[in-house]
Amino acid sequence: MTIDLFVATKGRTTELADFLRSLRQQTFTGYRVLIGDQNPPDFLADLRREFADLPVTWISLDFVSVSKARNALMERLK
């Protein structure tokens, strides 16, 4: 079984890092994370490097809207 988790984010690094660290501590590994990045280019570059070991797909979105971001991410869920 695989679980898809998705997060739309704008202007947050601490909260996103906390979320990803908590996933790293889990014993269940059958998950995939989709992150809808609504930030300027490279805003999350440090987090992308820090959590490169996790099954995260970083998706750059060219709009700022939590509803639109969720809809865009839901299209990619399995």
Instruction: Identify the domain containing residue 39 by its residue range.
Output: 3-74
The pLDDT of residue 23: 96
Q: Which pTM was predicted? A: 0.88
Q: What CATH number corresponds to the domain at position 48?
A: 3.40.50
Q: Looking at residue 14, what is its pLDDT?
A: 98
- Counting the structural domains of the chain, the total is 1
Mean pLDDT by 10 residues, the chain (78 residues): 93 97 96 96 97 96 91 87
DSSP notation for 13-77: SHHHHHHHHHHHT-S---EEEEEEE-SSTTTTHHHHHHTTTS-EEEEE-SS--HHHHHHHHHTT-
Q: What is the pLDDT of residue 1?
A: 84
